[in-house]
A and B are shown apart, each in its own frame.
Chain A
Amino acid sequence: MIHKKSWTKLLLVSLIIIGVTSSCKQENKKLPEDYELATAWADMTNYITKTTPANTPTFASRCFGYIGLTMYESVVNGYPEYQSVATQLNGLGSLPLPEKGVAYNWQLALNAGQAEMLRNIYIQTSDDNKKRIDSLEASFVNVLKTTTPDEAVVNRSILYGKKIAQLIFEWSKTDGGHRGYLTNFDKKLMFPNKPGGWKPALYAQSFSHSPLHPHWGNNRTFIAIDSAIDAPEFIPFDTLAGSAYYNQFKQVYEKKNSLTQAEKEVAIWWSDDPDVTFTPPGHSYYFATIAIRETKPGLIKCAETYARVGMSVSDAYVNCWKWKFQFFSERANTYVTEHMDQQWESFWPDPPFPAFPSGHAIQAAASAVVLTNLFGENFTFTDSAHAGRADDEIRNTAFKIRHFNSFWQAAEETANSRFYGGIHIPQDNEKGLEKGKIIANNINGLHWKK
């Protein structure tokens, strides 16, 4: 026997549930704001980056470049003050213009372009992930259709976005990095045997004893002048205690013993291990999303942001890898154990490639300068990329969310994190930051507006 009061309560609860459910349904049908559409695709891009096996920071950075560029080129013709950057890039040539005098829904074009590019460039991802891409695309189409009753407009917009993606994807095939995940490690590569040369890691992140993507530095950059940037200066190898080279490693060696808990948190936060996260360039792409969600700009600025960040991190990695294999420099785990303390081990394991300059630093600087140019010097934001991850049991360190007052502050912390981790000496980070800025300025210098 249920009491009358209980019946009333039950009815009330049911009504609330029905109310919430129906409001959720309405929410789903709500048209996306421009920034919501763009960031939904950026979230999907980072999800695919993170969950596709055998991913690498090099290959991932390249994908961000093409995916970001596709977003921009699929909508730019809807914004008269902006222009395509296709002809300013390294051999892409002009992309088709939309038909004159007819209407387009640029959100639909963006939606179709992102889905098409992700499906093509991440063809190696799982069937589940491909379904996720299809389903996100379909859900936006369903909603956007409701405001575009003219089916011709819908189809035309979708076709245009797809076409742009397909043409950019075709161009991508010739850059040297196409299907790069099939050749992560060149097992036949013979290492240069030189003093201070890179050695396979003993405290390693990867099972490979061969370095990652040794030929990545030959890849085509998005902007031609990015491949002509001068190589950074390198402090010459020396084993003499007190020499500049020795002192670089001594700083790393000593830092391990004086690491504060806060520095340990920084070290693990930025590790962005490609086996379990969206990789370091994914962290930069995520910063673009933070900036966009905070400022809620129109579609074209969203797309421009992802295009700039994507292409800057991609060109940063090509240059970085060119120099890594030019200098082929050792990590602290090699130098310190040979010349200072055999028992020493870095706080974080070594990645499988030479050290100089730091990939983390160069891409962080590149994206920070781009984002500063777009969103201003004093941009306060919270980085929750790894919020909720279980503590690092081995290092007794938690993943603590970060707060920054500028993008550059975040870039510097990215670079420092590799020093705290014991896997980069100061010059790796300093030169990385320095060269990243140049790459970003070249990207910013493209003629985005008419």
Chain B
Amino acid sequence: MRHRQIILLIIINFCINKSFSQTRFTDVTTASGIKHVFKVYEGMFGGGACVIDFNRDGFEDVYITGGMNDDMLYKNNGNGTFTNVFEQSGMAVTKNFVTQGVTGADVNRDGFVDLFVTTITRRDKQEIIPRAINLFFLNNGNGTFRDATKEYGLDQLFSFSTSASFGDFNADGWPDLYVGNYFNEYKGKLSVINDNTVVEANQIAKGNLLLNEKGKKFRDVYSNYGLEHRGFGFGGIFTDFDNDGDQDLFVNHDFGYKRTPDMLLENNYPRKKFTDVAKEKGIDLKINSMGTAVGDYNNDGLMDYYMTNIKFNYFMVNQGVGKPFVNKAPELGMQFFAISWGANFADFDNDGDVDLFVANGDLNPNCVAMANFYFENMGGKFEDHARAIGLADYGISRGSVVFDYDNDGDLDLLVVNQEPVIADYPVPSVTRLFRNDSTRGNWIKIILKGVDAESHGIGSKIEVEAGGRKMIREIDGGASSIFSQSSVMAHFGLGNAAKIDKITINWTGGNKQTISNGSINQLMTITEIPEKKSNHLFLYLVIGLVVLIIAVIVLKKRI
């Protein structure tokens, strides 16, 4: 009997140690100096964070929205701590607004990432109909930003916006925007508000498809691209679901079972048109669709999509071009009850397949505490190890971002939490930074430098072949975790592979670039080698000249 007990203890000990040795997260919020909580406006909705190396010092910083609280810009000090430099950042105007989400891209291609902050209403005055413009800040390149909302033509969109994402749907290298709106746009002035305008205010909304006009201005091309839908929009993500090299758009809608379901808008590039193919692809989800995490969980070269929802989330696995998606959440071990918001696919344990973090939190003001999920990829199936590895925070979570803030080669997590409306919430609910203390697994991180393509590689796809695996990452421009944007640096766990056989970059726009024999455990910068378009031009000139000569000869003979 005693013998059996000892064996049992050894087994338990082994199991615990095994899981601990794989991955372990440490809550370093206090030690890092991060002190943030999102405060809701009438229970709604955010917040989110955007990973951005705004001062280009090689340590990624993070911007976090505050809702009814002030936003924060945390500068990474490079020693494991952060300093809030928001006050001197030039973005203090956000204090006049109830902010929700944030996303970043180098809009004017000056090498510095600019920021787009979504809002739902103003904080500095009571609006009868809550609406406000979103805010766009250009990075000055000296550690500060300036408000360029008006300059970029964004100062007349009075919306109730949730998540925004950058993408390059026309593949011209200038990052464009999709903005999700929850309630309809309202342009009216206070003097014309009457009972009719008030009751019409909370109707479903169109999104904004904002085309970047060579870094100078944004223009809403929603209808020009064939978009007409209205819904309770939670934003969308640009992603190439059909591997045809252009960025399609998946749109999340709340209350899809009553109003507009989720949409999969196939990009008909080079035609200026999106077509909704959600129904035929079986992905017109009629749920409370909050956000979508993107990742190729089985390394089959096809992007899979995890949609967060109320009660049970959906994991729509890509079956290949022309085939409908299949929800595999139940069969892959992910069917757990929660109210989920943010979600991130990443290879947290550096073993060569992506795991999934899910941020959960009740609907304020209800405030039932619920833990976050950490689904570890166990060779094609998932197990929730959140409690075992220190990620089962019970705060009211919303957006979450993944980045390697301490540059140690594994991915850390920042989860934005809301302040509970009720007084007796059982645990502290504050934004948390979890440091990944993994000890195993090789890795590589890749920064893309687009020349013709978007300057930080947004919309491009990287394939890494190592140790017999082929892994892909899409560089997403935000909203793949609700209200938030993770690092644009691509991270690959390599397991025991000692070298990289091949790296292929599929730049947005169709340019393909291959690199053989990469080293492991390093940060690698890959600069785009543009396609030699001049060769084509020369060829066309030669053909043109030949045709001309023949024509002249023929004409002369006739004369």
Binding site for B on A (CB under 8 A): 52-55, 123-127, 179, 181-182, 187, 190-191, 199-200, 202-205, 207, 209-210, 273, 275, 337, 342-343, 345, 349, 394
**B199 pairs with A207, CB closer than 8 A:** no
Contact residue among A182, A275, A345 (Cβ-Cβ distance under 8 Å from B198)? A182
Contacts of A55 in B (CB 8 A): 199
Contact residue among A125, A179, A181, A205 (Cβ-Cβ distance under 8 Å from B258)? A205
Q: How far is the CA of A179 from the CA of B198 in the complex (A)?
A: 11
Contacts of A342 in B (CB 8 A): 337
**B199 pairs with A203, CB closer than 8 A:** no
Contacts of A179 in B (CB 8 A): 195
Say whether B228 faces chain A, with CB atoms less than 8 Å apart.
no
**B196 pairs with A127, CB closer than 8 A:** yes
Contacts of A394 in B (CB 8 A): 257, 286
Q: How far is the CB of B126 from chain A (nearest CB, A)?
A: 13
**B43 pairs with A349, CB closer than 8 A:** no
Q: A53-B203, A203-B310 are in contact. Are A182 and B43 (CB under 8 A)?
A: no
Contacts of A54 in B (CB 8 A): 198-200, 202
Contact residue among B199, B255, B257, B363 (Cβ-Cβ distance under 8 Å from A53)? B199
Which of B195, B202, B288 has the most chain A CB within a 10 Å cutoff?
B195
Q: How far is the CB of A421 from chain B (nearest CB, A)?
A: 14
A selection of 22 A-B contacts at a CB cut-off of 8 Å is A52-B199, A53-B202, A53-B203, A54-B198, A54-B200, A123-B196, A124-B198, A125-B196, A126-B200, A127-B196, A182-B195, A200-B363, A200-B366, A202-B310, A202-B339, A203-B310, A203-B311, A207-B255, A209-B363, A210-B365, A343-B337, A394-B257
**A124 pairs with B337, CB closer than 8 A:** no
Task: Kindly list the 6 A-B residue pairs having the minimum CB-CB distance in the complex, ordered from nearest.
Answer: A124-B195, A54-B199, A187-B42, A53-B199, A124-B199, A202-B310
Contacts of A182 in B (CB 8 A): 195, 198-199
Contacts of B339 in A (CB 8 A): 202
Say whether B254 faces chain A, with CB atoms less than 8 Å apart.
yes
Additional A-B contact list (6), CB under 8 Å, known A53-B203, A124-B194, A182-B195: A52-B199, A182-B199, A203-B310, A209-B363, A210-B43, A349-B258
| Contact indicator per residue, chain B 34-77, by CB within 8 Å of chain A (1) or not (0) | 00000000110000000000000000000000000000000000
Contacts of B368 in A (CB 8 A): 199
Say whether B232 faces chain A, with CB atoms less than 8 Å apart.
yes
Q: How far is the CA of A55 from the CA of B258 in the complex (A)?
A: 16
Q: How far is the CB of B240 from chain A (nearest CB, A)?
A: 29
Contacts of B365 in A (CB 8 A): 190-191, 209-210
Q: How far is the CA of A125 from the CA of B257 in the complex (A)?
A: 26
Q: How far is the CB of B340 from chain A (nearest CB, A)?
A: 12
Contacts of B195 in A (CB 8 A): 123-124, 179, 181-182
Q: How far is the CA of A343 from the CA of B312 in the complex (A)?
A: 9
Q: How far is the CA of A123 from the CA of B197 in the complex (A)?
A: 11
| Contact indicator per residue, chain B 281-307, by CB within 8 Å of chain A (1) or not (0) | 000001010000000000000000000
Which of B200, B202, B232, B258 has the most chain A CB within a 10 Å cutoff?
B258
Contact residue among A181, A205, A337 (Cβ-Cβ distance under 8 Å from B199)? A181
Contact residue among A199, A209, A337 (Cβ-Cβ distance under 8 Å from B43)? A209
Q: How far is the CB of A199 from chain B (nearest CB, A)?
A: 6
Contacts of A123 in B (CB 8 A): 195-196
Closest to B183 in A: A207
Q: How far is the CA of A349 from the CA of B286 in the complex (A)?
A: 12
Contact residue among A125, A181, A209 (Cβ-Cβ distance under 8 Å from B366)? A209
Q: A53-B202, A394-B286 are in contact. Are A202 and B196 (CB under 8 A)?
A: no
| Contact indicator per residue, chain B 195-221, by CB within 8 Å of chain A (1) or not (0) | 110111011000000000000000000
Q: How far is the CB of A300 from chain B (nearest CB, A)?
A: 33
Contact residue among A187, A343, A349 (Cβ-Cβ distance under 8 Å from B257)? A349
Q: How far is the CA of A191 from the CA of B363 in the complex (A)?
A: 14
**A53 pairs with B200, CB closer than 8 A:** yes
**A207 pairs with B257, CB closer than 8 A:** no
Contacts of A53 in B (CB 8 A): 199-200, 202-203
Closest to A276 in B: B258
Q: How far is the CB of B161 from chain A (nearest CB, A)?
A: 15
Q: How far is the CB of B370 from chain A (nearest CB, A)?
A: 12
Contacts of A204 in B (CB 8 A): 255, 288
Q: How far is the CA of A258 from the CA of B364 in the complex (A)?
A: 35
Closest to B256 in A: A394
Closest to B421 in A: A190
**A207 pairs with B254, CB closer than 8 A:** yes
Interface residues of B in 307-323 (CB under 8 A from A): 310-312
Contacts of B311 in A (CB 8 A): 202-203, 345
Q: How far is the CA of A273 from the CA of B258 in the complex (A)?
A: 10
Contacts of B43 in A (CB 8 A): 187, 209-210
Q: How far is the CA of A275 from the CA of B202 in the complex (A)?
A: 11
Closest to A181 in B: B199
Q: How far is the CA of A337 from the CA of B337 in the complex (A)?
A: 10
Contacts of A190 in B (CB 8 A): 365, 422
Q: How far is the CA of A199 from the CA of B363 in the complex (A)?
A: 10
Q: How far is the CA of A394 from the CA of B261 in the complex (A)?
A: 11
Contacts of B199 in A (CB 8 A): 52-55, 124, 181-182
Q: How far is the CA of A343 from the CA of B329 in the complex (A)?
A: 14
Q: How far is the CB of B482 from chain A (nearest CB, A)?
A: 16
Q: How far is the CA of A204 from the CA of B363 in the complex (A)?
A: 12
Contacts of B255 in A (CB 8 A): 204, 207
Contacts of A191 in B (CB 8 A): 365
Q: A187-B43, A349-B258, A394-B257 are in contact. Are A126 and B196 (CB under 8 A)?
A: yes
| Contact indicator per residue, chain B 83-119, by CB within 8 Å of chain A (1) or not (0) | 0000000000000000000000000000000000000
Q: How far is the CA of A181 from the CA of B199 in the complex (A)?
A: 7
| Contact indicator per residue, chain B 347-379, by CB within 8 Å of chain A (1) or not (0) | 000000000000000011110100000000000
Q: How far is the CB of B312 from chain A (nearest CB, A)?
A: 8
Q: How far is the CB of A57 from chain B (nearest CB, A)?
A: 15
Contacts of A275 in B (CB 8 A): 258
| Contact indicator per residue, chain B 334-345, by CB within 8 Å of chain A (1) or not (0) | 000101000000
Closest to B312 in A: A343
Closest to A189 in B: B365
Contacts of B196 in A (CB 8 A): 123-127
Interface residues of B in 230-275 (CB under 8 A from A): 232, 254-255, 257-258
Q: How far is the CA of A203 from the CA of B288 in the complex (A)?
A: 9
Q: How far is the CA of A202 from the CA of B312 in the complex (A)?
A: 11
Q: How far is the CB of B308 from chain A (nearest CB, A)?
A: 13
Q: How far is the CB of B525 from chain A (nearest CB, A)?
A: 45
Closest to B366 in A: A200
Contacts of B363 in A (CB 8 A): 200, 209
Interface residues of B in 168-202 (CB under 8 A from A): 194-196, 198-200, 202
Contacts of B366 in A (CB 8 A): 199-200, 209
Q: How far is the CA of A435 from the CA of B417 in the complex (A)?
A: 46
Q: How far is the CB of B233 from chain A (nearest CB, A)?
A: 12
Closest to B362 in A: A200
Contacts of A345 in B (CB 8 A): 311
Contacts of B194 in A (CB 8 A): 124
Q: A124-B195, A202-B311 are in contact. Are A207 and B232 (CB under 8 A)?
A: yes
Q: How far is the CA of A12 from the CA of B310 in the complex (A)?
A: 64
Q: How far is the CA of A123 from the CA of B43 in the complex (A)?
A: 29
Q: How far is the CA of A187 from the CA of B202 in the complex (A)?
A: 15
Q: How far is the CA of A124 from the CA of B199 in the complex (A)?
A: 7
Q: How far is the CA of A283 from the CA of B257 in the complex (A)?
A: 23
Q: How far is the CA of A127 from the CA of B200 in the complex (A)?
A: 12
Contacts of A349 in B (CB 8 A): 257-258
Q: How far is the CB of A185 from chain B (nearest CB, A)?
A: 9
Q: How far is the CA of A353 from the CA of B42 in the complex (A)?
A: 17
Closest to B43 in A: A209
Q: How far is the CA of A59 from the CA of B366 in the complex (A)?
A: 26
Which of B196, B198, B257 has the most chain A CB within a 10 Å cutoff?
B196
Q: How far is the CA of A68 from the CA of B198 in the complex (A)?
A: 26
Closest to B337 in A: A342
Contacts of A202 in B (CB 8 A): 310-311, 339
Q: How far is the CB of B524 from chain A (nearest CB, A)?
A: 45
